[in-house]
Amino acid sequence: MNEDTAELADSGSGRVPMLTRASFAAQVLQGAGPIAVEFMSYGCAHCRAIEPILRQVAAMVKGKEKIFQVNVAVDQGLADSFAIQGTPTMVMFLNGEEAGRVEGASPNLSSVLTAVTQPFE
């Protein structure tokens, strides 16, 4: 099992799966349906505050939408390719195309759920 497969296999633990440059294209750009990606960093206090809320939202939309994370400290090139200016930034994709974006902290369940689902309504 390679690192990317291990990260995705961990999704059953309640954690939001972490993507890397190697797994991003297959999971997001070539993925079908609605997908939300949080570009985050563990050094970001707002990202740490949103993480448990993002887990709740992922459980709420499971089956309708996929949610992933990208650590910009590890994959800065991937963040650069999507013009990520700060963390947290949520980018929503529909069938591999960007469908929406929310930048900055949204530290409550309602705001994160709206950010993740609104572009697909």
- Alpha carbon distance 85, 120 (integer Å): 23
Q: Got the DSSP string for the chain? A: --HHHHHHHGGGGTSPPEE-HHHHIIIIIT--SEEEEEEE-TT-HHHHHHHHHHHHHHHHHTTT-EEEEEETTT-HHHHHHTT--SSSEEEEEETTEEEEEEES---SHHHHHHHHHGGG-
pLDDT at 13: 56
Please indicate, yes or no, if residue 77 is contained in any of the structural domains: yes
pLDDT at 74: 93
Question: Domain limits at 41?
Answer: 16-103
Please indicate, yes or no, if residue 70 is contained in any of the structural domains: yes
pTM of the model: 0.85
Please indicate, yes or no, if residue 35 is contained in any of the structural domains: yes
Whether the pLDDT of residue 37 is over 80: the answer is: yes
Q: Which amino acid is it at 103? A: E
At 94-120, the pLDDT tens digits run 999 999 999 887 778 888 888 888 887
pLDDT at 27: 96
Number of domains within the chain: 1
pLDDT at 7: 45
pLDDT at 11: 42
Please indicate, yes or no, if residue 7 is contained in any of the structural domains: no
User: What integer is the mean pLDDT of 26-34?
Assistant: 94
Please indicate, yes or no, if residue 108 is contained in any of the structural domains: no
Average model confidence (pLDDT) across the chain: 86
Instruction: Specify whether the CB–CB gap between 29 and 96 falls below 8 A.
Output: yes
Please indicate, yes or no, if residue 55 is contained in any of the structural domains: yes
CATH number of the domain enclosing 91: 3.40.30.10
- Alpha carbon distance 44, 40 (integer Å): 7
At 55-68, the pLDDT tens digits run 999 999 998 999 99
Please indicate, yes or no, if residue 95 is contained in any of the structural domains: yes
